[in-house]
């Protein structure tokens, strides 16, 4: 086993200490955040308060339309909350150039979006300019592992390959806050496992805060240190995953029992 490469976050202990100093501000802090969209009666987020420590691997779980993507969009400063405040490392990310380079948001592209006209190697070149910690050798190695053709427009790639390109952009950016919104959707089971393995190995060398939304809870839950469950725009639960498991229930079963609506059944 090779010793881990020197990390920008300090010399990693081979035994794997990755907790930030006690005094470090939380990576993510939302205080009583509400987000309303125009002409929609119900708010997408409704009085959300949550604090996520630095270097957490947090699973963001919720049924469809629970508010996951809205929360992520606030963190990426794509939107501003209707009320309440958003803080990343103690600072407001909105219109902050620093936050722009420190937060990587990986989400599904629109069909005709800008990225679909670019080739993976062009997207990587852009990322190299915008991301101070971009590792091109890592990105290239990942592209080989996911069999991504570098010189084809992404719109002509398969769904799985497009997902791989998005995941590579998220991983190789090594952004202090990396947000994956169902990033691997379209990848087959083997590639999903490769993705998780690569993410974990890279996290060991370069610990960072990762927020990860998924509907594949039982497949992904071991990745998370903590789980944040949203339901109808509110925080349903936020706790350490092993504390939750100590109650004798897998995250998936807990999630289903908490979010099943009246009249719904699940076998």
Partner 1 sequence: MSVDPHTGQFGDDTQVRAELDNDRPLFLQVKEAIEEEILAGSLGPDDQIPSNSQLVSLYGINPVTVHKGVTMLLDEGIVYKRRGLGMFVSRNAPARIRVRYQEAFKNDYVEPLTQRAEMLGVTPDELHALVDESILAHQPPQASSGIADSAAVKDHTRRKD
- Residues lying near partner 1 in the complex (CB under 8 A): 1, 4, 14-18, 55, 57, 193, 196-197, 200-201, 203-204, 207, 218, 221-225, 241-243, 245-246, 248-253
CB of 200 to partner 1, least distance (A): 5
CB of 248 to partner 1, least distance (A): 6
138 within 8 A of 5, measured Cβ to Cβ = no
Q: Identify which of residues 158 and 252 has a Cβ nearer to partner 1 in the complex.
A: 252
CA distance linking residue 208 with residue 211, whole number of Å:
10
Q: Identify which of residues 54 and 69 has a Cβ nearer to partner 1 in the complex.
A: 54
229 within 8 A of 237, measured Cβ to Cβ = yes
CB of 16 to partner 1, least distance (A): 4
Question: What Cα–Cα distance (Å) separates residue 70 from each residue in 29, 73, 82, 239?
Answer: 15, 5, 12, 21
Q: Identify which of residues 42 and 222 has a Cβ nearer to partner 1 in the complex.
A: 222
CA distance linking residue 238 with residue 109, whole number of Å:
29
CA distance linking residue 202 with residue 208, whole number of Å:
10
- E strands in the chain: 28-35, 45-52, 57-62, 83-88, 103-106, 177-181, 209-213, 226-231, 234-240
Q: Identify which of residues 73 and 146 has a Cβ nearer to partner 1 in the complex.
A: 146
CB of 116 to partner 1, least distance (A): 31
What are the structure tokens assigned to 258, written together?
Answer: 């908490």
CB of 128 to partner 1, least distance (A): 25
Q: Identify which of residues 86 and 177 has a Cβ nearer to partner 1 in the complex.
A: 177
């Amino acid at each position: 086993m090779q010793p881990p490469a020197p990390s920008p976050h300090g010399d990693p202990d081979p035994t794997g200490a990755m907790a930030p100093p006690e005094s470090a501000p939380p990576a993510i802090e939302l205080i009583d955040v509400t987000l309303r969209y125009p002409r929609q009666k119900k708010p997408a987020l409704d009085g959300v308060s949550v604090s996520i420590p630095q270097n957490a691997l947090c699973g963001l779980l919720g049924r469809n339309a629970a508010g996951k993507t809205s929360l992520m969009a606030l963190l990426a400063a794509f939107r501003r909350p209707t009320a309440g405040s958003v803080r990343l490392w103690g600072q407001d990310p909105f219109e902050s150039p620093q936050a722009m380079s420190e937060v990587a948001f990986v989400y599904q592209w629109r069909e005709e979006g800008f990225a679909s006209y670019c080739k993976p190697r062009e997207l990587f070149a852009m990322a190299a300019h915008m991301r101070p910690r971009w590792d091109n050798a890592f990105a290239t190695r990942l592209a080989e592992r996911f069999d991504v053709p570098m010189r084809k427009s992404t719109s002509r790639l398969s769904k799985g390959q497009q997902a791989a390109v998005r995941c590579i952009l998220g991983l190789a950016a090594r952004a202090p806050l990396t947000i994956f919104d169902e990033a691997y959707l379209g990848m087959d089971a083997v590639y999903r496992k490769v993705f998780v393995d690569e993410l974990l190995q890279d996290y060991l060398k370069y610990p960072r805060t990762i927020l990860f939304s998924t509907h594949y809870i039982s497949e992904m839950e071991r990745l998370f240190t903590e789980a944040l469950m949203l339901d109808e725009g509110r925080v349903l639960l936020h706790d350490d995953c092993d504390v939750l498991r100590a109650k004798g229930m897998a995250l998936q079963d807990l999630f289903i029992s908490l979010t099943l609506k009246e009249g719904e059944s699940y076998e």
